[in-house]
Structure 1
């Protein structure tokens, strides 16, 4: 089995940027958000050792049913591998276990580009760090971390969470989960990269990471915009939240929260995330929500509660 590289991190933390950079190395092929790897392991008993056609059919069927991201299914994101070829790859590799089947399919994608190793980027894998390390004993886990104030601002622009505070909680849960798993598997296989370092000093940051995960660093890795969206799966192309990848690496994206967030929004993020921020070395401003904002929020909540009580009373008396 090869030694895959899994890139993970809270959404909007630079996982796609880092993945495009790593993919430009001649020694590593990165796949984007295929997403099934930890989840289909629960069906291992059906797959057996993949030596029988029916076992292989079960696996391929599940790949064709498993929802991935961007409206695609997992099988569609295994680039250039069609059903007949997947059957052939698995048959030639058998007898194998579940992880071996994953490795066989993804290795076939890497071999097409004459690359000796494969990797996958999936933000949701923050919750599966220990499992990945166990299932793929030679694997390396790369966790990219970004200032939660920038993550929260980006999530708000995308409309994924109802409030800045909810976005901060989303960041905290995911970063904590990945770090917990990383602590268990150890620093020889778990590696943290700061988004701020990646965009401000890309060459130095990538050189350091390349040494740790044992891939070849090449200067082209810092120029992802030259390949742009063409290097990403078709399902991701044209999506607005990936549009920055078509431009040169922009150092100003680090600490953009200082321009984009209000005092109240900064306070809302830090109220949720300050302890973990300090642990990670991020400066905490200590800003508080102004009294007039607190009053406006209280009035809004109180008004909403009054409306709800009134509705309940009306429903109780009106037949």
Structure 2
């Protein structure tokens, strides 16, 4: 029996997750849309929408997803009315309304399986598992020095080098934690450098993990960039070209000497454990290390505050959270399998 488990791509920003999204989207059975911005905000605001067993509440949540100013729904190429209708007719759980967006997107391409990509999801794996208990996660890792160098060039990235380094360290630490805690068939890690150097081999192994046959089209993701990467995201221009190793190691010329020293001082153990060679740069200045630690602390505090608020919400859940859109999700809920024709309106 072929898998219908949801697939989530995670990683530090600028790790190549958009390229991997397109590779997966190039598979004949898998659809992975451009990044959206409704899943996490909706989850943390779920009490406001009430019990999803009520069709009117499903309509309210679906309408916000379809019409919200910052949800990016319009970039999915879906009819808002049809999606809202599908959500109202779908299963009565919060995760089902969220998942219906991606199910509709997969239907747009005639594909039976869906995924989602957003780098910051690495912080929300537990939350995603609550909504999609049969989900599979792919963590793409890239040399932290390259991630930091690339983040510095992004028009949308406002924080400084210290926060960029803290972001990468956080992604790696979360990845280690997930690799320890999650089943082997639920969490998979691979390096950007290996993927670009030998995409066929790495994608074949990845397909084995998600339970799909490898398809050679996955090695040519540029053909999907026109339909799965919004034109305004000019920083993803490289996705319109062939897969290349040319972008690995650019940090050598992009980072200042003090930034290289900082990275190798505070990120050195992580870099080495992942197979990235260090230059032997001198120790970083104390004030730079202190600024990095301050950035780490601020991120940890903000995250803890948000999670603690959510723990209180969990004590008073407004209704069922887990989706009921896949065979695995329904089996975990003790329900029979559901035909795909029953999930969407005709």
- The bucket for the TM-score relative to the shorter chain is 0.7 to 0.9
> 1:188 matched to which residue of 2?
185
> 1:57 matched to which residue of 2?
59
> 1:158 matched to which residue of 2?
154
After TM superposition, give the deviation of residue 73 of structure 1 in Å: 2.2
> 2:168 matched to which residue of 1?
171
After TM superposition, give the deviation of residue 50 of structure 1 in Å: 4.3
> 2:71 matched to which residue of 1?
73
> 2:270 matched to which residue of 1?
276
Decide whether the 8 Å contact of 1:7 with 1:142 is kept in 2: yes
Q: Distance in 2 between matches of 1:288 and 1:25?
A: 46
Task: Report 1 or 2 for greater relative contact order, CA contacts < 8 Å, sequence distance ≥ 6.
Answer: 2
Q: Distance in 1 between matches of 2:105 and 2:223?
A: 22
In the superposition, the TM-score normalised over structure 2's length comes to: 0.74
Decide whether the 8 Å contact of 1:26 with 1:216 is kept in 2: no
Structure 1 alignment gaps of length 5 or more: 299-319
Structure 2 alignment gaps of length 5 or more: 289-346
After TM superposition, give the deviation of residue 193 of structure 1 in Å: 1.5
> 1:20 matched to which residue of 2?
22
Q: Distance in 2 between matches of 1:184 and 1:101?
A: 27
After TM superposition, give the deviation of residue 187 of structure 1 in Å: 2.3
> 2:131 matched to which residue of 1?
135
> 1:213 matched to which residue of 2?
210
> 1:144 matched to which residue of 2?
140
Larger CA Rg, structure 1 vs 2: 1
Q: Distance in 1 between matches of 2:165 and 2:263?
A: 5
Decide whether the 8 Å contact of 1:155 with 1:161 is kept in 2: no
Which of 37, 40, 49 is the equivalent residue of 2:39? 37
> 2:327 matched to which residue of 1?
none
Decide whether the 8 Å contact of 1:50 with 1:90 is kept in 2: no
Q: Distance in 2 between matches of 1:87 and 1:257?
A: 45
Q: Distance in 1 between matches of 2:254 and 2:44?
A: 43
Encode CA deviations 1:145-203: one digit per residue, 9 max, x unaligned: 10011111111222635543432122112232243234322322011110001111111
Which of 237, 250, 255 is the equivalent residue of 1:256? 250
SS in 2 for 1:287: coil
In structure 2, relative to structure 1, the CA distance for the partners of 1:265 and 1:41 (3 Å cut) is closer
After TM superposition, give the deviation of residue 90 of structure 1 in Å: 1.7
Q: Distance in 2 between matches of 1:119 and 1:29?
A: 6
SS in 2 for 1:7: strand
Decide whether the 8 Å contact of 1:50 with 1:91 is kept in 2: no
Decide whether the 8 Å contact of 2:122 with 2:171 is kept in 1: yes
Decide whether the 8 Å contact of 1:25 with 1:216 is kept in 2: no
Matches within 5 A, 1:103-142: 103-142=99-138
After TM superposition, give the deviation of residue 283 of structure 1 in Å: 1.9
Give aligned pairs, total: 284
Q: Distance in 2 between matches of 1:210 and 1:34?
A: 24
> 1:245 matched to which residue of 2?
239
In structure 2, relative to structure 1, the CA distance for the partners of 1:66 and 1:143 (3 Å cut) is farther
> 1:3 matched to which residue of 2?
5
After TM superposition, give the deviation of residue 64 of structure 1 in Å: 4.4
Q: Distance in 2 between matches of 1:85 and 1:47?
A: 22
Decide whether the 8 Å contact of 2:83 with 2:104 is kept in 1: no
In structure 2, relative to structure 1, the CA distance for the partners of 1:85 and 1:114 (3 Å cut) is same
